[in-house]
Structure 1
Amino acid sequence: MPSDHKQWVIPFAIQLIPSGMLFVGSLWMRESPRWLFLKGRREEAMKNLCWIRQLDEHDIYITEEVATVDQAIEEQIATVGLGFWKPFKAVSQSTSLMYRLFLGCMLFFWQNASGINAINYYSPTIFESLGVTGNTKGILNGIFGVVKAVFTVIWLLFLVDQFGRRKLLLCGAVCGSACMYAIGAYIYIVEPTKHPRDHLNGGGIAAIFFFYLWTAVYTPTWNGTPWVINSEFFDANIRPLSQACTTASNWLFNFLVSRFTEQMFAKMGYGVYFFFASLSFLAWFFAFFLIPETSGIPLEATDQLFKIKPIWRANEQLKAQLKEEEERFRQEVKDGAFEKNDPQEHVESA
């Protein structure tokens, strides 16, 4: 493509398509039942909840969930309170919440430490460092985007719920580190920028393979999983604040990596790959010792998840505890311990 305004107009116009689809789709989105319960719009909340769960409002699961939500709202009013500044005060007075917020922000630190945004923003430089020249760089860059899109869909539909969040982080850290080390070793030994060729040799093809393997490993692990974990780390009382802080930390680390990537390549060369590979390796220890599995844990029970040690056993133990409580609750419903239409008794029983 010639060097003119089309080089930025066309990519910009293409991005309007998914954003436009997102806007149109948002017109049919239903409001969160939890938010509606909080605002006292119970009839609408029940309707949306039944639609989401595809269950009748008299189903035992709906009764159980409504009781849990009601209890959480009562607890929020009694402890955190309602209002813009209340969550700030609650977090500042709780060391456990501050620690959890720290973990959420650090997840994005390790995400960016993998080197993803260095590759996103400087992929032509990446391919050039591997010895790729000419129009081939654009083609390989396009394939990079396709690989990310495909594995994102796979992650959404299969991996994140089938394998859990924690296992994906651990697998992605180790495999991603190995791929980066392999790429760095190739550049260190061959020095393709100092010894340019008109075609890639076997080592260059292998380096390209490891690059795409890294993309295929990173995308369904550290790319989206930290966002999912942060959405499940905090109960509804402080979720707006926690989501804002962790998202801001993501963009801070994103800025730092993208700002200094060009200088890093100029000064470090192949060392950039070893640098990101080492950080990815360290991310494994962070995820293993500090991050619990959040899959299958209700938001209202998140606090209990961080009270169980060791952290890698917390999910399993808490699920067993919640199952016992659920069976007890359902038995009380069957025994007529409270009337189904009395939400306050639902709260007390839960």
Structure 2
Amino acid sequence: MSILSLQEDRPTPKCVYNYRVYTCAAVAAFCAVMIGYDSAFIGGSIALDSFKTEFNWAQYSKAESDLISENIVSCYQAGAFFGAFFAYAAGHYLGRKKGLQVFSAVFILGAGLMLGANGQRGLGLLYAGRTLAGIGVGGASNLTPIYISELAPPAIRGRLVGLYEMGWQIGGVVGFWINYGVSTTMKPSREQWLIPFAIQLIPAGLMFIGLFFIRESPRWLMSRGQRAKALKNLCWIRKLDTNDVYMLEEVSAIDAALEHQHATVGLGFWQPFRALANDPKVSYRFFLGCSLFFWQNTSGINAINYYSPTVFKSIGITGTNTSLFTTGIFGIVKALVTIIWLFFLIDNLGRRNLLMFGAFGGALCLYYVGAYIKIADPSHHPTANITSGGISAMAFFYLWTIFYTPSWNGTPWVYNSEMFPQNVRTLGQAFAAASNWLFNFLVARFTAQMFTAMGYGVYFFFASLMLCSIAFVFFLLPETKGVPLESMDRLFSKDLKPRNAHKVVMIELREDEEQFRHNVEGSGIGLDKDEMGEKAAHVEESV
């Protein structure tokens, strides 16, 4: 077993890992480019002198300017919180694809409103535009991981959902460097701060157009009774005929899962809410999903993303351009490490190991950065050039990035896209995405005040919470890599300990697959396309 090998739940034709499934995932993941770009550009853009001059920043006290900056940043997260819940209705009635089109259109409208803000009109259009854009990305952040997980072969599901995180980092790199570019090549003017706001329209437009060329989720179509279209889409995505045994196995598993959900919970709009209220197994997974984003946001990443100039100033980096340049390097490091996570780590090392190792290494790095600031106190002992101690603190900060990025940055999104049953998946992802935006909002809203009040203690605070997350993962989260979506109920069974559940389930899946193929081969019935549905039911019953 090499680090590049894939752990398959059953023998899989190589054509299943084709360009179509990657293309569908990449188009849907473009919403993350919009999210990543915003998290990177907004802090630097509102720190530009041209922006402050436009909106007469000099009239505000330090406390007032901190509050306005926090409001500009955080109304985006507030909109995203509600957008995540709106996506539940859109995903249920419209589907994954049309729902993503609706929310990308809402984002485009919000981004357009931001461009109308100026000194005469005030900040009202900026607040309204960012709230609408937040609703758009909040809804898309719910539907994108669900859509990708539902069309992904189990062995590369983590990689495909990880494209969402890759898009986030690509947007982040562009956002960081756009600010540096306009600050170094343009004189202070309205266009200088407006250009970063306008660039948001590019990824949103590309996503909106690209969605017309991909297919709807076969699992959603099956749940809505559109079986013929679902089989057509699944055959197109897998590049297999309906008479292939791999297709028969997958369709049979989907049918069995839907039948079980119909008999127990139901497939209607309100049934998932009843399951959440009445089924402890479902509510427990909702708790796990929301908790993952609590730990993710209390690692400190969004404090650094949204207020990077403040963070680097606390280490001893002076000058707006120098701070933006350092922030740009931070974005490049995250993007490079994300590529390694996407292609080599997520589907090989697994979710549990990445989360625990990343939290431990990241905590040590933040403790070092906090200790340096405590001892050297660079804010009260400024120097023309950064000291050797400051360089070491920067090195540990980038090392923290290397630990954090392939663990807590994207893995919670992958985990949440996998763990919920089909009938509550959209609602579960809505709660998980909403919890992400809620904690994101709290961090964005109070980070500036935290740095003012706590100083170096902010780094100790985030480091301590990262250590606490290790216990959460070890005792509560089972490994999900390579497990089919239809087998997640077994993975989260009460009779399996989280640290051993994955091994047990994979053994059971191999035994079931051998029995399934034995029944198919022993039946002696050809798998004619017109008889596929009847044959699937026959084999399912015999198994």
What's the TM-score once normalised by structure 2's chain length?
0.62
Aligned mate of 1:71, from 231, 251, 256: 256
Partner residue of 2:409? 223
Q: What SS is found at the alignment partner of 1:238?
A: helix
Query: Is the CA contact 2:519–2:539 (under 8 Å) kept in the aligned structure 1?
Result: no
In the alignment, structure 1 residue 309 sits paired with structure 2 residue 496: yes
CA deviation after TM superposition for structure 1 residue 42, in Å: 2.7
Cα separation, 2, equivalents of 1:338 and 1:64: 15
- Consecutive unaligned residues of structure 1, counting only runs of 5 or more, are none
Deviation for aligned residue 1:339? 7.0
Q: 1:338·1:345 contact (CA, 8 Å) conserved in 2?
A: no
Contact 1:108–1:226 under 8 Å retained in 2: yes
Within the alignment, does 1:251 sit opposite 2:251 as a pair?
no
Q: Percent identity?
A: 56
Whether 1:332 and 2:525 are equivalent positions in the alignment is: no
Return closer, same or farther for 1:277/1:325 CA change in 2, 3 Å cut-off.
same
Structure 1 residue 153: deviation in Å?
A: 2.8
Tell me the SS of whatever aligns to 1:136.
helix
More divergent stretch after superposition (5-14 vs 106-115): 5-14
Does residue 292 of the first structure (1) align with residue 485 of the second (2)? no
Find out whether 1:80 has 2:265 as its counterpart: yes
Deviation at 1:338, TM superposition (A): 7.1
2:385 to 199, 221, 241: 199
Distance 1:349 1:258 in 2: 56
CA–CA distance in structure 1, aligned partners of residues 290 and 381 of structure 2:
42
Matched residue, 1:52:
237
Uncovered stretches (5+) of structure 2, i.e. residues with no partner: 1-182
Aligned to 1:182: 368
Instruction: Give the alignment of 1:120-159 within 5 angstroms.
Output: 120-134=305-319, 135-159=321-345
Q: Residues 96 and 311 from structure 1, CA distance in 2 versus in 1: closer, same or farther, beyond 3 angstroms?
A: same
Residues 358 and 403 of structure 2 are in contact (CA less than 8 Å); yes or no, is this contact kept in structure 1?
Answer: yes
Give per-residue Cα distances to partners, 1:223-254, cap 9 Å, x unaligned.
11101101111111110110111111111111
- Which digits, 9 at most, give the CA deviation of each residue in 1:66-115, with x for residues without a partner? 11111111122222212211110112111111111001000000000100
* C-alpha distance in structure 2 between counterparts of 1:338 and 1:231, whole Å: 37
Is it true that 1:17 corresponds to 2:208 in the alignment? Answer: no
* Corresponding residue number in structure 2 for 1:348: 541
SS at match of 1:162: coil
Q: Who is 2:92 aligned against?
A: none
Counterparts of 2:241 and 2:397 in 1: how far apart (Å)? 49
C-alpha distance in 2 between matches for 1:198 and 1:236: 58
- TM-score by length of structure 1 reads 0.95
Structure 1 residue 115 corresponds to structure 2 residue 308: no
Tell me if the contact between 2:355 and 2:473 (Cα under 8 Å) persists in the aligned partners. yes
What's the offset of the Cα at 1:256?
1.1
Q: Which residue of 1 aligns with 2:171?
A: none
What is the match of residue 465 of structure 2?
Answer: 279
Does the Cα contact within 8 Å between 2:366 and 2:460 map onto a contact in 1? Answer: yes
Task: Call closer, same or farther: CA 1:47–1:319 in 2, change over 3 Å.
Answer: same
Letter in 1 for 2:516: F
- How large is the RMSD of aligned CA atoms in angstroms? 1.6
State the Cα distance separating 1:260 from its structure 2 match: 1.4
Instruction: Quote the offset at 1:12 in angstroms.
Output: 1.4
Contact kept in structure 2, 1:148 and 1:216, CA below 8 Å? yes
- The Cα offsets for residues 154-179 of structure 1, whole Å up to 9 and x where unpaired, read as 32222211221111111111111111
Structure 1 counterpart of 2:518, one-letter code: Q
Amino acid at match of 1:236: Q
Q: 1: CA distance between counterparts of 2:249 and 2:259? A: 16
Distance in 1 (CA, whole Å) between partners of 2:403 and 2:199 is: 27
Partner in structure 1 of residue 451 of structure 2 = 265
How far apart, in 2, do the equivalents of 1:288 and 1:99 lie? 16
- Range that drifts further, 14-23 or 205-214: 14-23
Aligned to 1:238: 424
How many residue pairs match? The answer is: 350
SS in 2 for 1:145: helix
After superposing the two structures, state which structure 1 stretch, 101-110 or 168-177, moved more.
Answer: 168-177
